[in-house]
Structure formats: C-alpha cells, structure tokens
Amino acid sequence: MQTDSSFTFVLFGGTGDLSMRKILPALYEAHRAGMLAASGKIVAVARHEEDRAGYLQWVNEHVKAHVAKSGIDENAWASFVDRIEYVKLDLGKAEDFVKLRDALQDHAGTRVFYLATGPSLFVPICHALASVGLNENARIVLEKPLGYDLRSSNAINDAVGEIFAEEQIYRIDHYLGKEPVQNLLALRFGNALFEPLWRREWVESIQITIAEELGVEARGDFYDNTGALRDMVQNHLLQLLSIVAMEPPHSMDSDSVRDEKLRVLRALKPIDPRDISKVAVRGQYHAGVIRGTSVPAYATESGVKTDSATETFVALKVEIENWRWAGVPFFLRTGKRLADRVAEIVVNFRAVPHSALGASALRAGANRLVIRLQPNETIRLYCLAKKPGEGMNLSSVHLDLAFDQFFKEGQMEAYQRLLLDVINGRLALFVRRDEQEAAWKWVEPILNEWAASGKPKPYAAGTWGPAAASAMLAQHGTCWLEEEN
C-alpha cells in the first residue's frame, strides 16, 4: 500500500551510522515495494562539506551493504536516489536553517523531521526549525535515548512540546515495529484460544530477554555514561512488557493502544530500595571467548573508564499490581557479550493441577509459548504429546509459525514499518510522553541505588551473565529458557 500523500522526509544526521544502517535502507525497501508516494522527497541534512553528488556517492558506499538479503535492484536503486537531496547545515548558524526552509519551499505534503542525532541536539534543532516556521504541518521523530533520567527526559519533552504538539511527536522504539510483536497482538486479541489463558490463573511466569553478542564497539564514551538499564530496560524491555501484559484495547487506534500500555506501566510494583539486591542483578563483562574469538573486558574498551561501575547486564524480577497479573513474576534480562544474540518473550503456562499421565505432565514449562523477535522471527507453542510405541510416555513437541516460511510476502523490517507509520500519521507504535514518564519513574529507584552502591557482578564474555541472575529465578522454582535446554 502506497503512502497516503506526498511528503518530504528530512533526515538530520544524514551521514551518521543510524542513517546508513537503518533509516535509508528502510526507505529504499519501502520505495522498491511501491509504498512511497511518487512525489515524496528525502532531504539529508549534515554538516559535511558535500554537494549532492558527493553525498550520493557516500550513500552508495555505505547504504547498499545494509539492504536486506534480497539485495539491490539497480533500477529501483537509481529511482530511489533520485528522491534524495542534500543540505549542508551548521546547527549554530541561523542562516543555514533559512537555507533549509528555502530548499523545502517547493516540496509539497507533510514534512517529517527525523532527528538521528544525539539527544543534546534535539532541543536546539527544534528551536531552529520553529524560528523559520518549519514546525507547522510537520512531524518530528525522536530517537532514544530521550534523557538520562526523569528530570532530563522531562526537560527535553517540555522544550520539544513548546514547539510541536504531542500528536506531532513520534518517539521511536524499533522493537515495537517488529513483526512478532505485531503478531503478539493478533495472537491475543484475534483468537479465542489464548486470551482466556492470558492471566494469573494459567500463567506461571514470563521471561523477556534481549541478549547481544556484541560489546560496546565504538560507543564506549556513550555507553559508559548510560549503561544497560537506561539503554535497554527503560525503553525496549518495558515497552515489550507493556505489550505482553496490556488489557484488550477498545480498538487499534493510537490512543486506545497506548492507554492500555500506560495502565501496565503505572501498575508496576514499585521497587523498595532495600529489596533491590533481591530483585535486580547488574553485571559487567570481563574478558572471554565468543564463538572461538577472544574478546576484551568492558573496562579495557575504548572510551570506557578503567574503574567503571557501568552495568552491561541487567536482570530484574518485575510484578504488576493488577487483577490480571497479581502474583505472576516477569523476569527481564538484557546484556552485552552474552552467549548468543537473541530477543524473545517466553510465556510459561502453569502445569495441569493433577496428572494421570505421569510426572512429566506436571513439570514447569510443559506448556509454553516462545515468541522469538531475533535473529529469526517465529512463534512456537510447546505442549506434551505421547511418544510412539508402547506405554504412555510423554515428550515435548511444538507447533511453529515461522513467518518467512508461512507467508510468501516479504517481511517488513521494523524501521520500514515505523517510517511508513510516521509518513502516514499513525502513532500507535510510538511512545507517548506519559508512557515514558511512567517508565522513568519506575526505573529511577534502581538507578539511584546502584549509583550509591558497589560495582556490578563480573561475568565472562560468552556466558549468560552473572550466576546471581540464575539464582534469582531458582528462588521461584524456574530457570531461564536456555538453562532448561
């Protein structure tokens, strides 16, 4: 389906890594699929001394490698780059924004300003856009991290909110655009099978994991002032939690969905600072081996302080104080330099109350739903079945929904879906300000306690994090999925 109308997509940070790896490849895929209005334009903005030809050469060198497995269609690529213009802009020069306004004057339709920059530049860019009247008939996309804590997040939101109305602001979280997350909503609210079971009477526990094999790479300076709790938990993990736990919305319009997510975030049980050691584990990777390659300790990475107390791993036990989920533990986990790259949601259903078929039918995890977000996107339902042969011997089997095998249409990448939603004015998959505030309020006691206490627990790169993360689940009679397997 093509975008609703003409647009101009203005990309601040147009030569940056995010633009090259994610944003421009996603726009190319949308273009190749015929999803962009023919009159739509892309205006890249950066401070590099380039003309349009020089910028397009940069795009050719840095974007093509990040296009999906299907590769480049040269005809589609040629028509795609025809959409692209380049404006050199110095944020400190008001006359450069006049130049940007003049460059956009002949472009019809909605304007989208995507700020693929550091958060310290969000407010100056917004003020400069307003100074030349470019905040009208416009949408603005803000990348994470949006602030360092609740206070700084509110400061950014207040400043941006003076210039753009809330319905013009798109706070992007790319995990919300992933196909399995969308299918989780379809699975729950489109089928009579799951929704009656999606509650405390039938769910034993839920795990949400985002694990990375990579370290901090070239982002040591940024990461050492951020840490895993700010970088991953406050946004990605809590957003996934709210999708998993939300009540059925009235409809799929933007405010109905986000209202229900907000109710979950506000129902999170506050963490008493005295109990943080029992429900929160933080770790930092030391040297180790991943897939046969030795990797250094976090403290020796470029840009990282040698005595750093920044966490690269977090595991949390979370409770939701409402009727549906009272007493059900949600275990959240994220980390760098772990044993595998995986993002998944695991719903462990309760065992049957009595079994005439033997003890295997009573074991935890006999019935389980695993929603894999990466690297391969699948939904797998585990249940027990009788093994062939004599006797009533049970074995775990699974039913698969592998999207790339079941659906012949090409899958849409998360950024592609989200960018199309921005262009078309659909807000449901973007974070509203009150959601963000609720997440920061819940996270801050942990941040404050960790800032005042000792260093994170060490773990070897290539493992699944500190042993304390496993011990936390063992106290509840369960384990992380990979430990069971």
CATH number for the domain spanning 41: value is 3.40.50.720
The encoded tokens of residue 285 equal 């990777």
Show Cβ contacts of residue 97 under 8 Å, excluding neighbours closer than 6 positions.
89, 128, 129, 131, 132, 134
Both 241 and 372 in a single domain?
yes
pLDDT for position 4: 56
Q: What are 290-333's pLDDT values in tens digits?
A: 999 999 999 999 999 999 999 999 999 999 999 999 999 999 99
Nearest to 350 by CA among 204, 197, 193, 477: 204
* pLDDT surpassing 80 at residue 369: yes
Answer whether 114's CB lies under 8 Å from 142's CB.
no
Q: Where are the beta strands (DSSP E) in 350-433?
A: 368-374, 378-386, 394-402
**Same domain (yes/no): 346, 279:** yes
Question: In this structure, what CATH number is given to the domain that contains residue 195?
Answer: 3.30.360.10
Q: Which of 170, 186, 102, 144 is nearest to 407 (CA)?
A: 186
- Domain limits at 59? 7-143
Query: Is residue 329 classed exposed, middle or buried when 0-12, 13-18 and 19+ CB atoms within 10 A define those classes?
Result: buried
Confidence of residue 407 (pLDDT cuts 50, 70, 90): low
* Residue 82 within any structural domain of the chain: yes
Q: Is 168 part of a structural domain of the chain?
A: no
CB 32 within 8 A of CB 26: no
Residues 137 and 219 in one domain: no
What is the predicted pLDDT for the residue at 69? 65
Query: Do residues 211 and 335 touch, judged by C-beta distance below 8 A?
Result: yes
Nearest to 304 by CA among 280, 322, 285: 285
Residues 80 and 223 in one domain: no
Average pLDDT over residues 12-40: 94
Q: Which of 128-132, 191-195, 332-336, 428-432 has the lowest mean pLDDT?
A: 191-195
- Is residue 236 flagged as an active site residue? yes
- Gyration radius of the chain's alpha carbons: 24
Q: 386 falls in which pLDDT band (50, 70, 90)?
A: confident
169 inside domain: no
> Is 136 found in the same domain as 42?
yes
358 and 477 in a single domain? The answer is yes
Average pLDDT (351-366) is 66
Residue 150's pLDDT band, with cuts at 50, 70 and 90, is: very high
Q: Answer whether residue 2 shows pLDDT above 60.
A: no
- Does 347 or 217 have the greater pLDDT score? 347
Q: In this predicted structure, what is the pLDDT of residue 404?
A: 65
Q: In this predicted structure, what is the pLDDT of residue 281? A: 97
pLDDT of residue 191: 85
Tell me the average pLDDT across 361-384: 81
pLDDT attached to residue 358: 64
Report the chain's mean pLDDT, rounded to a whole number.
90
pLDDT at 363 over 70: no
**Higher-confidence position of 4 and 397:** 397
pLDDT at 3 (0 to 100):
54
Instruction: Check whether residue 388 and residue 479 sit in a common domain.
Output: yes
Taking only the tens place, the pLDDT of each residue in 255-288 is: 999 999 999 999 999 999 889 999 999 999 999 9
Which of residues 122, 143, 164 is at a domain's end? 143
Percentage of the chain beyond pLDDT 90 is 70
pTM more than 0.85: yes
pLDDT one-digit tens code per residue, 249-260: 998 888 999 999
Identity of the residue numbered 279: V
Which of 143, 163, 191 is at the close of a domain? 143
* pLDDT value at 422 more than 70: yes
Question: Does any domain span residue 271?
Answer: yes
- Are the beta carbons of 97 and 125 closer than 8 angstroms? no
Co-location of 41 and 189 in the same domain: no
Kindly state the helix (H) or strand (E) to which residue 9 belongs, with its residue range. strand 7-12
Give the whole-angstrom CA distance, residue 352 versus residue 364: 10
Q: Are residues 391 and 291 in the same domain?
A: yes
pLDDT for position 392? 73
Which residue, chain included where needed, has tokens 């005595």?
307
In Å, how far from its chain's centre is CA 309? 24
Catalytic annotation, pick one of 48, 236, 354, 476: 236
| Cα separation, 275 vs 283, whole angstroms | 17
Q: Is 19 inside any structural domain?
A: yes
For residue 418, name the pLDDT band (cuts at 50, 70, 90): very high
pLDDT at 388 over 90: no
Residue 14 in any domain: the answer is yes
Residues 94 and 201 in one domain: no
Q: 20 in a domain, yes or no?
A: yes
Q: 355 and 242: one domain?
A: yes
**Count of domains observed in the chain:** 2
Task: Look at residue 420 in the predicted model and tell me its pLDDT.
Answer: 96
pLDDT on residue 484: 83
Average pLDDT on 336-344 reads 96
pLDDT beyond 90 at 49 = no
150 within some domain: no
Question: Does 156 have pLDDT greater than 60?
Answer: yes
Q: Do both 272 and 407 map to the same domain?
A: yes
Q: Which of 95, 122, 143 is the last residue of a domain?
A: 143
Burial class of residue 14, CB neighbours in 10 A (0-12, 13-18, 19+): buried
